[in-house]
């Protein structure tokens, strides 16, 4: 009996081995190459993140057939962007987005902002139109649509910016500046009621002030005939950023002796600036510390103190304006 059981067990083992053949060496090599490429690609992104372009290029050259992988092409777009190759970056980006399996959530807002600075607007608008039917999470879709919309807003492309920003999911949290941009765009659309609602949402959610924010607030409040709020924005602009391009525009208006009650919304060309201001002011909220601000804005505590020499470190009240970047 025992001998019979051994024989049957041996037969089952043989049958199992023949019915489930082992993977061929070729398929194993393909899997190994794919896994190696994923690891290499993560190294490329890490080097790009820290700004080591040379190392990123070296690692990228180890990827097996990058033209067949949407994620490798996306990394190639970032690599070319880091090198300042506008056309090459655009080509790689368009190739990556042609793959249906590409997870668009992997596309960074930094890359979208790069294409904005390179003035690749038709490409950005084409990509944005595809976002409307994508199944990515609402928060990521908002982030990408908002990035492109604000890019078009800053470039004074009013109708295109309004078209994108008005399609945002307003049940999700938005960048406060998005509300302000929509208020400004609503003025362009002669929708004062909508402009008032948007700027109220901006005021309720704002966490920082910049020259562009203060100038835009001044324009919106002026158009809405809210002279006191317009003057408050103008005063903050001239006090916090006395040598900024937006401040100079305001001073030109005042030299022309135009009262705030008579100010009309300046034409698009009047608020076009050659370079977006870099200085940023953060308004202190409850529980915030200088250390938290240093991490958030990638600046040391020592630099914060040097930028704010009158700051008393152990006595910072709510809504205190803190400069967190250099003008």
State in words which class domain 278-327 has: alpha beta
Structural contact between residues 89 and 75, judged by C-beta atoms closer than 8 angstroms: no
Cα–Cα nearest to 88, from 65, 49, 120: 120
Model pTM above 0.85: no
| 300: three-class secondary structure by DSSP | coil
Map out the domains of the chain as residue ranges: 175-276, 278-327
Per-residue pLDDT at 305: 76
Which tens digits make up the pLDDT trace of 72-96?
A: 999 999 999 999 899 999 999 999 9
Cα–Cα nearest to 96, from 121, 123, 122, 118: 123
| 7: three-class secondary structure by DSSP | helix
Which tens digits make up the pLDDT trace of 186-195?
A: 999 889 999 9
pLDDT band at 289 (very low <50, low <70, confident <90, very high): confident
Which tens digits make up the pLDDT trace of 33-80?
A: 678 888 888 898 888 888 889 999 999 999 888 888 999 999 999 999
């Amino acid at each position: 009996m025992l001998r019979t059981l051994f024989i049957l067990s041996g037969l089952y083992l043989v049958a199992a081995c023949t019915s489930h053949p082992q993977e061929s060496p070729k398929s194993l090599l393909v899997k190994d190459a794919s896994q190696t490429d994923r690891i290499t690609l993560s190294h490329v992104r890490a080097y790009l993140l820290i700004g080591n372009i040379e190392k990123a290029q070296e690692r990228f050259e180890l990827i097996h057939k990058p033209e067949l992988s949407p994620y490798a092409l996306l990394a190639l777009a970032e690599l070319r962007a880091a090198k300042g190759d506008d056309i090459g970056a655009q080509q790689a980006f368009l190739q990556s987005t042609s793959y249906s399996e590409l997870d668009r959530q992997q596309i960074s807002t930094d890359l979208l902002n790069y294409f904005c600075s390179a003035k690749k607007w038709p490409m950005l608008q084409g990509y944005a139109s595809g976002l409307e039917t994508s199944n990515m999470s609402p928060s990521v879709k908002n982030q990408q649509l908002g990035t492109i919309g604000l890019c078009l807003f800053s470039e004074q492309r009013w109708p295109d910016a309004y078209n994108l920003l008005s399609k945002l999911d307003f049940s999700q949290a938005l960048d406060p500046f998005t509300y302000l941009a929509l208020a400004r765009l609503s003025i362009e659309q002669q929708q004062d009621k909508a402009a008032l609602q948007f700027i109220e949402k901006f005021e309720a959610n704002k966490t920082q002030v910049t020259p562009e924010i203060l100038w835009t607030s001044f324009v919106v409040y002026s158009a809405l005939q809210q002279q006191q709020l317009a003057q408050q924005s103008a005063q903050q602009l001239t006090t916090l950023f006395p040598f900024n391009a937006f401040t100079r525009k305001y001073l030109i208006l005042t030299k022309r002796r135009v009262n705030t009650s008579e100010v009309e919304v300046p034409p698009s060309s009047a608020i076009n600036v050659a370079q977006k201001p870099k200085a940023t002011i953060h308004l202190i909220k409850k529980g915030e510390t200088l250390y938290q601000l240093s991490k958030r804005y990638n600046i040391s505590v020592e630099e914060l103190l040097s930028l704010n020499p009158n700051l008393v470190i152990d006595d910072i009240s709510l809504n205190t304006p803190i400069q967190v970047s250099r003008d």
